[in-house]
Structure 1
C-alpha cells in the first residue's frame, strides 16, 4: 500500500471563515472541505453564516425603522388577505362539490329505478315467451280442439 500525499490549502471567504481543503494525490477518493472560523474565539469555534447574525436594534424613531415597519405591515396585510381569499375559494369549491354530489346521487336514484323497471319488464317478457313456446316434438301430438273426427262434415 502506498501512502497518499496530501496538500492542504487554506483560504478565507468573505465572511471571515477559513476553509481548509485537503487535496489527495494519486487517489480517486474525494475529500470533504472543512470549515473553521478565521478567529478561534468567534462564536464559540463554530462558523456562523452572516444571514443568521443579529443586526443591532434600529432606533425606533429612525426613518429606516419606520419604512421597514411599514413594509412589514403591508406584507402582513397582503399575507392575511391571500389567506382569507384562499379560505373563501376553498369553501366555494366545497359548496360546488356538495351540489354536484347531490345532483349525482339524485341521478343514481333515478337510474336505479329505471333499471329496476326495465329488469321487471324484461323478466315478464321472458316469462311470457317461455309460456308461449312449446317444447320440441310435441307439435301435432295432441289433437286440435275442433277436429273433423268429432262429427263435423
Structure 2
C-alpha cells in the first residue's frame, strides 16, 4: 500500500509573519488539481503572543554596532532632540510662571480698584441719604385743617 503523498510546504517571512504555502506534487490527479491551495498566515515567532503581527514601528531592528557611523549619527540626532525638548519644556514652564505673576499683579490692582470704588459708593450713598433727609425736613405741611391740600385757585 502506497502512502499518500503529502504536499510540500514552503515558508516565506514577510513583516514578521511567516506565510506557509503548499505546493502539490506533479502527480496529483486532474480532479484534485482544480482545487486551489490557500496560503496560511502563521506568526514567525510562535511565542510572540496570539499570532498578531507587529506594526513596523514596534518590530525589533537589528542593533547597530556602537562604533558605526549610523549609530553615532542616530545618537547625536536623538541627543539634540532631547536637548531641544527639554529647552521647550523649560521655556513653557517659564512662560507659565510669568503669566501667573502677571495675573497676580492684575488681580491685586483690580482688588484695590474695587476697594476704592466701594468707598466712593459708600460716600455717595451717604450724601444722597443726607440730601433726601434734608429735602424731607424742608417740606412744608399742608395748609388745610383736615390735613388735605388747599383748594387750587384760578390765578385771580
Structure 2 counterpart of 1:32: none
Task: State how far apart, in whole Å, the 2-side matches of 1:17 and 1:111 are.
Answer: 80
Gaps of at least 5 residues in structure 1 are 1-13, 19-36, 142-153
The answer to whether the 8 A contact 2:18-2:43 is kept is no
- What CA RMSD, in Å, does the superposition of the two structures yield over aligned residues? 2.4
Structure 2 counterpart of 1:75: 81
Q: How many residues align?
A: 109
- Structure possessing the higher relative contact order (Cα contacts under 8 Å, 6 or more residues apart): 2
TM-score (structure 1 length as normaliser):
0.63
Of 39, 43, 59, the match for 2:42: 39
- 1:103-130 per-residue CA deviation (whole Å, 9 max, x = no partner) reads 1000000000000000000000000000
Task: State how far apart, in whole Å, the 2-side matches of 1:138 and 1:96 are.
Answer: 69
CA spacing shift, 1:40–1:53, aligned 2, 3 Å: closer
Gaps of at least 5 residues in structure 2 are 1-13, 20-39, 148-156
Of 65, 77, 92, the match for 1:59: 65
The answer to whether the 8 A contact 1:58-1:65 is kept is yes
The answer to whether the 8 A contact 2:66-2:72 is kept is yes
Task: State how far apart, in whole Å, the 1-side matches of 2:93 and 2:43 are.
Answer: 51
Deviation at 1:65, TM superposition (A): 0.4
Deviation at 1:138, TM superposition (A): 4.7
